[in-house]
Structure 1
Amino acid sequence: MSDNYVILETGQGGGIPDTVHGPYWGREEAVSELKSLREHTANLGRRDRYQLGLVEIAGES
């Protein structure tokens, strides 16, 4: 079983994540995208919060 990651985005002033990015199929890919998202919003003068999450992808039944 491989690790599956998502990035949870919380907009300025929010407390609950409102956007989920991913899934990403490896930590390296997810961390790279996390850094890009943080840099992009910082350049816009925003203070959005991004958190890395490890998730289990359930099979279809």
Structure 2
Amino acid sequence: MGDFVVPNTARPVIGLDVVLDIEEHFAATRPGVPAEPRQLLRTYAEEGRLGVKSGRGFYADHR
């Protein structure tokens, strides 16, 4: 059975804070997962850049 991966196109829709929670859990159960993607997601979440639900995320706006 393969690992679950959230598609990049779904991330802004479900919320980058939710993606961060998923990534944090994944990293806690799998050694060697790079920290950089979680650091970027954490920065975005702290800035309120959550994707569609906040109107900002990876992109300037979500309309």
TM bin, normalised by shorter chain, reads 0.3 to 0.5
Of structures 1 and 2, the one with the larger relative CO (CA 8 A, separation 6+) is 1
Max Rg structure? 1
**Normalization by structure 2: what TM-score?**
0.38
- Quick check: which one's strand share is greater? 1
- Quick check: which one's helix share is greater? 2
